[in-house]
Amino acid sequence: MQEPSTTARPLTVAALFAGRIDDRGFMEAGWRGLDRARVEFDVATTHRANIEPRKDLLVAALHELAAAGPDLVIAHGGQNNEACAEVAPHHPRVRFVVTQGAVTGANLASYDILQEESAYLAGVLAASSTRTGVIGHMSGIRVRPGLKGRAAYAAGARAADPAVRLLTNFSGQQDDNALSRRVALAQIDAGADVIFTMLNAGRTGAIEACRERGVRQIGNVIDWVRTDPRIFIGSATADVGMGVFEAVRDLRARTFPAGSVRRIGLSTPGAVGLTLAPDVPPGIRERIAATTERIAAGGIVVPETYDGPEFATPA
């Protein structure tokens, strides 16, 4: 495969977002990573957004982006794994990346920001903070990063307090606020007083439910504590846009890791972490700090699977 030129012309990068780039969550973080790469590396970028996460639609959009002949196509999110693996061999002169991905090929790499490491910390925080002994977890689509995050959250909670009961739900929708509000209220009615939300634009419904019932929430991806520390006791930050940015950096440096998965976690400053509200007690802060150090040093292996009960989505 011919190496893309770094001097004759600007690199061209196309990106696919299976959702809204203004969702204040996963998709927006990816778009910001793309825009940062555009500015810092002087690359020409284009993107497609608001694609429904169905394989046939993702395949069609990826073919369309690749047909224009960019140096790199980035599919943001693990929901693109199958589609990108199918499309990449048809465009051998184009490099492909799936962020939060798990697929590789001759011209295909995955970048995995280990948000499950911050989710583990979120589990420690939830189990250490609950007064009812019941904690919640809410997500939408059952994609690999979300499933790994749920498994990590459950494991962190068990490590902090094995007696804590977990209510975990995948509703099938990341952006539906009416649905997320119903799920949050149902979990609160079942006793949850801390809920970890792994949602995109649908987080607002859960926030409304928590505010109405006086329940705390743990956010993810961005620092939601800054938005409302009275609601958010913490936020499992994971700069998933860093995967987009690092892919462009590697392409520019001619170190593109075709055929492999590049993993970035707590050992990389600024990649993932857990922010805490001002009212989190010192003892819990110390526990979180100690757990962070152990994960970064390899002393804790964060599990990727969960085989416990599921909380039913309310009608």
In a domain, 7, yes or no: no
Task: Quote the pLDDT of residue 102.
Answer: 94
Query: Does residue 276 sit in the same domain as residue 160?
Result: yes
Q: What's 103's domain CATH number?
A: 3.40.50.2300
**Which residue range forms the structural domain that includes residue 149?**
116-238+272-296
In a domain, 279, yes or no: yes
Nearest CA to 224 among 244, 191, 195? Answer: 195
What confidence tens digit (pLDDT) does each residue in 10-34 have? 899 999 999 999 988 889 999 999 9
SS3 content of the chain, % helix, strand, coil (to 5): 40, 20, 40
Which residue type is seen at 153?
Y
Query: Does residue 69 sit in the same domain as residue 173?
Result: no
The model's pTM is 0.81
Query: Does residue 135 sit in the same domain as residue 67?
Result: no
Which residue type is seen at 269?
P
In a domain, 64, yes or no: yes
Tokens read off for 161: 């307090």
In a domain, 308, yes or no: no
Nearest CA to 6 among 242, 259, 250? Answer: 250
Query: Does residue 143 sit in the same domain as residue 189?
Result: yes
Calculate ∠ Cα 227-228-230, nearest 5°. 165
In a domain, 315, yes or no: no
Domain count along the chain: 2
Query: Does residue 154 sit in the same domain as residue 278?
Result: yes
Query: Does residue 83 sit in the same domain as residue 16?
Result: yes
Task: Quote the pLDDT of residue 6.
Answer: 42
Query: Does residue 145 sit in the same domain as residue 224?
Result: yes
Query: Does residue 231 sit in the same domain as residue 260?
Result: no
CB under 8 Å to 300, separation ≥6 — which residues?
A: 120, 159, 291, 294
Query: Does residue 227 sit in the same domain as residue 148?
Result: yes
Phi/psi at 78 (nearest 5 deg)?
Answer: -65, -15
Query: Does residue 89 sit in the same domain as residue 193?
Result: no
Determine the Cα–Cα distance for residues 62 and 18; give it in Å rounded to an integer.
Answer: 11
Task: Quote the pLDDT of residue 1.
Answer: 52
Task: Quote the pLDDT of residue 50.
Answer: 95
Query: Does residue 106 sit in the same domain as residue 234?
Result: no
Could you say which residues of the chain have pLDDT below 50? Answer: 2, 4-7
Task: Quote the pLDDT of residue 275.
Answer: 98
Nearest CA to 93 among 104, 106, 80? Answer: 106
In a domain, 312, yes or no: no
In a domain, 310, yes or no: no
Determine the Cα–Cα distance for residues 175 and 313; give it in Å rounded to an integer.
Answer: 15
In a domain, 26, yes or no: yes
Per-residue DSSP letters for 34-76?
A: HHHHHHHHT-EEEEE----S-HHHHHHHHHHHHHT--SEEEEE
Burial zone of 161 (CB within 10 Å; 0-12 exposed, 13-18 middle, 19+ buried): middle
Query: Does residue 212 sit in the same domain as residue 134?
Result: yes
